[in-house]
Amino acid sequence: MITYLSMTKSIHDWLFSILPEGAANITEMVLIALAYLALFAVAGLYLVLLERKVAAWFQLRLGPNRVGPGGIFQTMADALKLVSKELTSTDRIDKFLYNLAPYFVIVTALLAMTIFPFSKQLQAFDPNIGMFFLLAISSIGVIGILVGGWASNNKYALIGAMRSGLQTISYELSVGLSILTMILLTGSLQLSEIIEVQRTGGWLIWQGHIPAIIAFMVFMIAGTAETNRAPFDLVEAESELGAGFHTEYSGMKFAYFFLAEFINMFIIASIAVVLFFGGWLSPFGITEGITWFPEVFWFFIKVLVIIFLMMWFRWTFPRLRVDQLLTLEWKYLLPINLVNIIFMAILIWLNWTL
Partner 1 sequence: MERILFYIIAAIMIVFALATVTSRKVLRAVMYLLFVLIGVSGIYFLIDYSFLGAIQIVVYGGGVIVLFIFSVLLIHHVELELEVTPLKKKIIAGLLSAAGLGITLWAIITYPFKAVNTSQPIEVSEIGNKLLSYGDGGFILPFEVISVLLLAVMIGAIVIAKGKKLGKGVSRKEAGAQNEN
Check binding of 175 to partner 1 (CB under 8 A): no
Window contacting partner 1 (CB under 8 A); options: 37-45, 90-98, 116-124, 203-211? 90-98
Check binding of 139 to partner 1 (CB under 8 A): yes
DSSP result, 271-326: HHHHHHS-TTPPGGGTTSS-TTS-THHHHHHHHHHHHHHHHHHHTTSPPPPHHHHH
Among 128, 316, 324, 327, interactor with partner 1 by CB under 8 A: 128
Window contacting partner 1 (CB under 8 A); options: 59-67, 138-146, 258-266, 322-330? 138-146
Give buried/exposed letters for 131-145 (b at 16+ CB in 10 A, else e). Answer: bbbbbebbeebbbbb
Q: CA 157, 321, 241 angle in degrees (round to 5)?
A: 20
How far apart are alpha carbons 58 and 52 in whole angstroms? 10
* Nearer to partner 1 among residue 153 and residue 353 (C-beta): 153
Chain centre to alpha carbon of residue 351: 33
Check binding of 137 to partner 1 (CB under 8 A): yes
Check binding of 143 to partner 1 (CB under 8 A): yes
- Total of residues contacting partner 1 (CB under 8 A): 34
How far apart are alpha carbons 294 and 290 in whole angstroms? 9
Check binding of 271 to partner 1 (CB under 8 A): no
Q: What is the closest distance, in whole angstroms, from the C-beta atom of residue 107 to partner 1 in the complex?
A: 11
Task: Please report, as a single letter, which amino acid is at residue 102.
Answer: P
Check binding of 116 to partner 1 (CB under 8 A): no
Q: Are 227 and 261 in contact (CB under 8 A)?
A: yes
Q: What is the closest distance, in whole angstroms, from the C-beta atom of residue 153 to partner 1 in the complex?
A: 4
Contact positions vs partner 1 (CB under 8 A): 22, 25, 92-94, 96-97, 100, 127-129, 132-133, 135-137, 139-140, 142-143, 146-147, 149-151, 153, 158, 161-162, 165, 169, 172, 187, 189
